[in-house]
Structure 1
């Protein structure tokens, strides 16, 4: 077996093990389920609101699921890279033959599991809050390709950001722009209700398209009437998310290689000393 193939297989096993470890401690478990549970509470209190005759909770539930994919893919990946660059895990991976291959496959596997669990945590209780979800075979297939394409579009972006951030405490530099994108991406209110120029800006980024893709999977065709063009636009969804995926997959290896070359024991010791001084 080629060493790179072996490293990739090891990374897959490592990703599954680390995913299980995430749910073995109370702190990590709380961090994983708090946001989906909080969104469930928000959806509960939105039950009486409507937009153009469509219950707002019907539109918001799939949108929040799409937003969860973006948040987990970008913030989850960037956060893990920042932490493990600071504690030396990344340095140890770099000094092992094909260690970076196994490391990146493992992290990608772990975060992908996080994405799937986050979607399910929102979907299962949402089935009891929303009466008109379409959960046929076609809906599950559409949801599957949207989730997978969303993961491919966001995970490399998170890796790039994690490589550029100086330390884990800089995550706020990512969270605030993402929160701004949510406001103009039709997550909590249909994009068609926003000014035209904001609609244009929102459609550049993957947040809107992931929300649209999940809505197309779970809602009946009549609900598309409140969208910008009155349709689900599957081809455009694939095109935009695919473009982000290609850009991330091209850029991420370049940035990660440069970041890995800069890793050394002295740099790690300097970051550790700086963290101790801040503590």
Structure 2
């Protein structure tokens, strides 16, 4: 073989054919992402502990009180921890997906990690699969801890078996939407140091207007209208449909759980996040070309 001639020998071709596929690389990348998340102990503690602490505080303060709702045909009561749990599950998913992904990508872009990864043979899709895998694993552990706390400390009843299917698709769709929107929003912070200052206020505002900390029907009408534009409100409503009695559907804005609309809004944000993410995602800092 002369110099400069590509090596097309069978041995070389076999070596190329042995290169792992995108899915396999994505799984390896998910492990790397998870290890990196575990090493960032301050962020890990906040992501895991925040929903648990808020659940414990609110449930302890209002644990002896029932949430009473006028359903038009009568009054219905449910203990506060049971009503509060769906909102905390929803906000936990948002923390693990949207907030974690947006801040981590902005940081990795700023410190040059993304630039170095771009120079490797790793497909870009594998990088994003790694993020999704990490978010799914973290979210599962976080929700399991929340449910365990609710059951063991506050005697929150678990839904019947048939409702767990609703939980599954709301969880998967909500996690995917939050992750994709996090990728899209990661282009907003101008540096890794400013990422938390940009992302966290957005998350906090959405929590307050989406019925996470307060019963959604008690919020002002204008606030409810604003919340309906964003996915967290629908994610929380989907979780309420799992953990609350069917009669509480009458408390929702339309008087029903609106599962199709929940899927539609979350799906729309998923598509919107994908479109924006593809168009705005950058591997380099703004000042790096």
- 2:250 pairs with 1:229: no
Name the CA distance, whole Å, in 2 between partners of 1:132 and 1:89.
Answer: 44
Q: Compare 197-206 and 28-37 and name the one that shifted more.
A: 28-37
Q: 1:128 to 1:249 in 2, by over 3 A?
A: same
* 1:48–1:55 Cα contact (<8 Å) kept: yes
- 2:140 pairs, out of 106, 116, 120, with 116
Q: 1:200 to 1:101 in 2, by over 3 A?
A: same
| Correspondence list, 1:30-41, <5 A | 30-41=45-56
Q: CA deviation at 1:138?
A: 1.7
Q: Compare 65-74 and 216-225 and name the one that shifted more.
A: 216-225
**Which residue of 1 is the match for residue 66 of structure 2?**
50
Name the CA distance, whole Å, in 1 between partners of 2:202 and 2:160.
Answer: 36
**Which residue of 2 is the match for residue 72 of structure 1?**
96
Tell me the SS of whatever aligns to 1:48: coil
Q: CA deviation at 1:3?
A: 9.7
Give the helix-richer structure, 1 or 2.
Answer: 1
- 2:126 pairs, out of 91, 102, 110, with 102
**Which residue of 2 is the match for residue 201 of structure 1?**
226
- 2:161 pairs, out of 137, 157, 161, with 137
Tell me the SS of whatever aligns to 1:148: helix
Number of aligned residues: 264
Name the CA distance, whole Å, in 2 between partners of 1:28 and 1:192.
Answer: 32
* 1:85–1:91 Cα contact (<8 Å) kept: yes
Q: CA deviation at 1:20?
A: 4.5
- 1:176 pairs, out of 174, 182, 201, with 201
- 2:272 pairs with 1:247: yes
Tell me the SS of whatever aligns to 1:51: strand
Cα deviation code 1:167-210 (max 9, x no counterpart): 22222222112211211111122221222222111111111111
Q: CA deviation at 1:75?
A: 0.8
Q: CA deviation at 1:221?
A: 1.1
Q: Which runs of 5+ in 2 are unaligned?
A: 1-15, 69-76
Q: CA deviation at 1:218?
A: 1.9
* 1:209–1:237 Cα contact (<8 Å) kept: yes
Q: CA deviation at 1:229?
A: 2.9
Q: 1:134 to 1:232 in 2, by over 3 A?
A: farther
Q: CA deviation at 1:107?
A: 1.6
- 2:26 pairs with 1:11: yes
* 2:101–2:183 Cα contact (<8 Å) kept: yes
RMSD between aligned alpha carbons?
2.6
Q: Compare 172-181 and 222-231 and name the one that shifted more.
A: 222-231
User: What is the TM-score normalised by the length of structure 1?
Assistant: 0.84
* 2:231–2:265 Cα contact (<8 Å) kept: yes
Tell me the SS of whatever aligns to 1:126: helix
Q: 1:241 to 1:221 in 2, by over 3 A?
A: same
Q: 1:108 to 1:86 in 2, by over 3 A?
A: same
Q: CA deviation at 1:15?
A: 0.4
Q: 1:192 to 1:4 in 2, by over 3 A?
A: farther
Q: Which runs of 5+ in 1 are unaligned?
A: 269-279
